[in-house]
Amino acid sequence: MVCVDQFFWTTDKEIVDAQWLYNQCPLLLNAIVKNALNLNPHIVTTIKATTPTNSTYKTNLNTLLSSLSSPSNNGNGYGFYNLSYGENPDQVYAIGLCRGDVTVDFCRGCLSNATQQITQGCPNQKEAFGVIEQCTLRYSNRSIYGAMETFPPLMWYNAQNVPSDVDGFSQELNTLLEDLRGQAAGNGSLRKFAVGTATFPNFQNVYGLAQCTPDLTEQVCFVNTTTIRPLPSSPSPLSSPPPPPLSSPPPPSTSTGGSKSDKSRTVIIIVVPIVVSVVLIVMFFCICLRVRRTKKKLETGKLIPGNDDTDEIGSAESLQFDLATIRVSTNDFSEANKLGQGGFGSVYRGRLLNGNDIAVKRLSTNSGQGDLEFKNEVLLAAKLQHRNLVRLLGFCLEGSERLLVYEFVLNASLDHIIFDPTKRAQLDWGRRYKIIVGTARGLLYLHEDSRLKIIHRDLKASNILIDAEMNPKISDFGMARLFVPDQTQGNTSRIVGTFGYMAPEYAMRGHFSVKSDVYSFGVLVLEIVSGQKNSGFRHGENAEDLLSFAWRSWREGTASNLIDPTLKTGSRNEIMRCIHIGLLCVQENVADRPTMASVILMMNSYSFTLPLPSQPAFYLHRSIASDMSLRSEYNSGATRSDRSKSNSVIVMEYETFTEPHPR
């Protein structure tokens, strides 16, 4: 996304003028002295089309930028902010990045300053990029997450001379920066940041810093940094080096071998074009052959489009576990190691020979996919990495066995805590709010920021795992793709999900979209606030579904009755706002439900006025609580006409009791 290539050096510990190369590529390279960088460039570069002052796009932009530096918005926790707001064609995307060694408060203040500068300098632009102090800010009317840019370039020079051996200095400096590139690129998906130092003869130490934006992969980050231009030889920022003196004319030749020289020249003139032609012809045929092979692999499903086939083959091999290793780690899938059973299969705890704990999902055999399609889907799922998603480590495909290997998450799933009358007291409001926001960010990543648009289709409390720091991690994302390939939105005759969390348009008609996940998220929010399940919700002697009670209480002005009595502390305004957001997410009209980007904005910005929710899509208004359960995959062989005859059953029956997920 944003690349700031910086080079600083000095003969003392004082900061002098600097050279910055701003390329819209993913790297920040720095060579500086010990003291912190203290620069104050206020640069705002505007790009592309303009927009009227009173336009919807301008309103969305102002709303989005006002929430960027909100005290409740910590980005990814490491100085990287990615937000979007609105609906096409007036949707706004924004990304902020702070230098990796600044504090959260400094970062937030820098972005606040950047917001003011960029709105003043670019009042009516649809796309702009600003560099303020130690942070960068960019907004656009197109998605810019993970996108490479090479515009606009900016440059400053260091005006101080290298005392001696300029070539040696440049060589050592380039070695330092090259090492930092690799370290920063390989430092994970949250913060790609590295520092280092180099010592030069007859010169002070030079300290280097490299930082890549975390929205790019390690390979893209490292490879694209090679496009950063080399340091110029001249140390002066104000003038070009003087031209070299003209050389004296060569002395007259006294050789008598002129005829031999002419013959050699003639041979060269004839041979070189022939050799070049042959090389070009060979290269042309090689390129044609490679294109033909790639096209054939794409047609047969052996290659994921948009990736190099060699890389994909290597990735598949690196992700593949052998069955014997997994059998040993899980004690041959013993019942003692079994963590849960769900619609997609059983989950077992395992321990590899290196001591690392894993969770192994043993998939049921009714996938309907071929081996190649299964591998491709696993490769895509493995590339989905976010702090609020359970990480897929690999797979095993031997005989009839199809296994998925996940990271092991220490604590139980959310349903084991939030629905337990005793354990849920451990979740004060601060932890519950952290779980709500983290789940929202994970869903936003799946919907908008990942390489694919992933619709979860089975978001529920038992699919939210809680790690040792009480951070939520969404599991089973992408499972619908593994069992129902090539469906990310539209209609389906095969329902994959859990009743009680499923949006009505999906449960009744098989229609699904990102708004289906938004509905499930709304149910989950209301469950976290109340500490009770949607199905069989009880308030006093009355038993009714949670959504009915929440809506009725909201209209009667008694929404506080929904709050879990064990919540003794916490911001009452924040809790009521979450109830409000939850009701917005479960509205019956699909178009009225917010996107996950809007949900994040509502949570981060209290200046954003929430619309009034309309009536939710009820399954039950008031009834006797039912203990009936239904499998996650409803009527796996049923057609839509079969389901239409069973709508009364769908209305009356609720969620399956499952815990199929890696811990």
Which residues are catalytically annotated? Answer: 458
Query: What's the token pair of residue 468?
Result: 């040792």
Cβ–Cβ under 8 Å, residues 206 and 184: no
* Angstrom distance (rounded) from CA 9 to CA 31: 6
Q: Could you report how far apart the first and last alpha carbons of the chain are, in Å?
A: 34
Residues 6 or more apart whose Cβ sits within 8 Å of residue 606: 70, 72, 577
* Angstrom distance (rounded) from CA 181 to CA 27: 8
* Angstrom distance (rounded) from CA 284 to CA 608: 58
Which H or E element spans position 648?
helix 647-652
* Angstrom distance (rounded) from CA 279 to CA 270: 15
Neighbour tally for 366: CB within 10 Å: 11
* Angstrom distance (rounded) from CA 470 to CA 434: 8
C-alpha closest to that of 491 among 652, 643, 376: 643
* Angstrom distance (rounded) from CA 455 to CA 519: 12
Strand 192-198 vs strand 538-539: parallel, antiparallel, or unpaired? Answer: unpaired
Residue with tokens 């066995």: 401
Query: What's the token pair of residue 256?
Result: 């008598």
Residue numbers in the known binding site for ATP are 361
Main-chain dihedrals φ then ψ at residue 538, nearest 5 degrees: -125, 135
* Angstrom distance (rounded) from CA 236 to CA 241: 8
* Angstrom distance (rounded) from CA 117 to CA 276: 54
Cβ–Cβ under 8 Å, residues 412 and 661: no
Neighbour tally for 538: CB within 10 Å: 13
Residue numbers in the known binding site are 361
Residue with tokens 């057609």: 639
Cβ–Cβ under 8 Å, residues 594 and 480: no
Residues 6 or more apart whose Cβ sits within 8 Å of residue 535: 499, 500, 545, 546, 625, 626, 654, 655
* Angstrom distance (rounded) from CA 633 to CA 639: 13
Neighbour tally for 471: CB within 10 Å: 18
C-alpha closest to that of 576 among 558, 596, 594, 599: 558
Residue with tokens 């299964």: 374
* Angstrom distance (rounded) from CA 47 to CA 125: 7
* Angstrom distance (rounded) from CA 208 to CA 180: 7
Strand, helix or coil at 371?
Answer: helix
